Amino acid sequence: MGKSWTQLEQWCTNCQKCDLANGRNNIVIDRGSREASIMFIGEGPGEQEDLQGKPFVGPAGKLLDKMLLAAGFTLDEVYIANIVKCRPPFNRDPKPEEREACINYLRYQTALIKPQIIVCLGRVAAQTIIDENFKITRQRGQWVERKGTKIVATYHPSALLRDESKKKPAWEDFKDIYKTYCTLRGEK
């Protein structure tokens, strides 16, 4: 059987693999274009995301959208997801066992999207996708390649809301991400 969005949505809706399922209002699968060649991945839904069923729609999401637009992206050419599909209580980081329970859903999403670029938003996403020992302050902006996909990490937008000093390096990352995106699309 081929991969399908309907199958992914059914699996996520029926998932009871971890305790996060008990407190969710909605599963939070994705936002943006399912035809995108670039995928942004955060750690997990917050309060607004849990209520609306879409990732990055709260204050951090509004900042992400502004940064994407300022860098040159349109919102209909990016795909946005999270490691876990249910909100961790009090917006805490998803526990390793919660990430492990959800990782196959993310792998399935990635197989459906087939992105040329994956951008990890924050330490948790980078440690889950790039390297479990990833240090966001030292390694952000450094590209790796896996199975033909370019992967990079930058600060999570919520970190930028808490610490203004991270905005400039994150902006440099976003400019580089857009440049790499354009290069892969054959644009100057």
* Confidence at residue 111, expressed as pLDDT on a 0 to 100 scale: 95
**What are the backbone dihedrals phi and psi of residue 14, each rounded to the nearest 5 degrees, phi first?**
-90, 0
Mean pLDDT across the stretch 119-131? 97
Q: Which helix (H) or strand (E) holds 105?
A: helix 96-113
Count structural domains, the chain. 1
Share of the chain above pLDDT 70, in %: 98
Residue 1 has pLDDT above 50, yes or no: no
* Confidence at residue 3, expressed as pLDDT on a 0 to 100 scale: 75
* Confidence at residue 186, expressed as pLDDT on a 0 to 100 scale: 87
Report the distance separating Cα 42 and Cα 83, nearest Å.
6
pLDDT band at 188 (very low <50, low <70, confident <90, very high): low
CATH code of the domain in which 142 resides: 3.40.470.10
User: pLDDT tens across 52-111, in order?
Assistant: 999 999 999 999 999 999 999 999 999 999 999 999 999 899 999 999 999 999 999 999
Give the global pTM.
0.96
pLDDT band at 38 (very low <50, low <70, confident <90, very high): very high
Tokens for 160? Answer: 């930028």
Report the distance separating Cα 107 and Cα 51, nearest Å.
24
Domain that holds residue 61: 5-184
pLDDT band at 153 (very low <50, low <70, confident <90, very high): very high
Residue 2 has pLDDT above 90, yes or no: no
DSSP symbols for 109-126: HHHHH--SEEEEESHHHH
